[in-house]
């Protein structure tokens, strides 16, 4: 894309935040520099498929991945209130190797806990793409499967796996923490069997996922892939 096209595209983009628009600034030396935050601050590269290593090594690594699930502290909808009890003495998810991490960079599991508003979907996509492969998604509650009681809402999505690849569904409205623990165990079995390849699936069908996401997010104002 030439510079002019880029500029044109940016000025036309009415959803773009003011600080993200392309602009010309004067450097301390008096030179004029063009700054395009979307290109300068974000990496716009497509995700790549990373093939698993040989069978024996991968089996061992999958075991290690399954026994150490680092969950992103990210709550959407009513299900997020079911997650804190997991860490209390009553349910104690630590004994299954489940830990909460505060940043997407360090976590390997994201729990979509209930109905997903379109505005939140945008944040989910950004968080999911910042996580490092291999990464897994647990969808909690009926709302992520078919919309649940919000099936005809104007502002929530109905099926989560149109937008990001889901590894495990936990049904119910709301599922209790025990159900979520069972979900973790199911995810572990899938990882150990080598079936949880969500990150590669996302890279493989990237265009399809992006088209779906852009269809529902009308104010798309971020790069297509923001690591």
- Does residue 103 touch another protein according to CB under 8 A? yes
- Does residue 61 touch another protein according to CB under 8 A? yes
Is the four-CA dihedral 188, 193, 194, 196 of positive or negative sign?
A: negative
**DSSP β-ladder status, 109-113 and 32-35:** unpaired
Residues 172-201 that bind another protein (CB under 8 A): 199
Chosen residue from 101, 186, 192, 210 binding another protein by CB under 8 A: 101
CB closer to another protein, 147 vs 177: 177
- Does residue 20 touch another protein according to CB under 8 A? no
Chosen residue from 11, 46, 94, 185 binding another protein by CB under 8 A: 94
Q: Which of the ranges 4-12, 91-99, 145-153, 172-180 carries the binding residues for another protein, by CB under 8 A?
A: 91-99
Provide, rounded to whole angstroms, the least separation between the CB of residue 131 and another protein: 9
| Helical axes 206-216 vs 118-130, angle rounded to 10° | 150
């Amino acid at each position: 894309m030439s510079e002019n096209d880029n500029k044109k595209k940016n000025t036309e983009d009415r959803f773009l935040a003011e600080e993200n628009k392309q602009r010309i600034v004067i450097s301390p030396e008096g030179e004029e520099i063009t700054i395009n935050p979307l290109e300068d601050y974000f990496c716009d590269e497509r995700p790549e498929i990373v093939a698993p290593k040989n069978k024996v090594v991968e089996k061992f690594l999958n075991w290690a991945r399954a026994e150490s699930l680092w969950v992103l502290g990210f709550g959407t909808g009513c299900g997020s209130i079911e997650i804190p009890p997991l860490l209390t003495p009553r349910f104690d998810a630590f004994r299954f190797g489940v830990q909460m991490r505060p940043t997407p960079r360090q976590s390997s599991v994201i729990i979509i806990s209930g109905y997903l508003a379109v505005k939140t979907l945008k944040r989910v996509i950004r968080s999911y793409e910042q996580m490092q492969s291999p990464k897994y998604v647990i969808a909690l509650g009926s709302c992520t499967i078919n919309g649940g009681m919000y099936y005809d809402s104007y502002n929530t999505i109905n099926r989560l796996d149109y937008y990001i690849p889901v590894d495990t569904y936990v049904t119910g409205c709301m599922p209790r923490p025990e159900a979520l623990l069972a979900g973790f165990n199911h995810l572990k079995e899938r990882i150990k069997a080598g079936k949880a390849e969500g990150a590669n699936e996302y890279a493989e069908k990237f265009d399809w996922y992006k088209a779906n996401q852009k269809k529902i997010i009308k104010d798309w104002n971020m790069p297509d892939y923001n690591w």
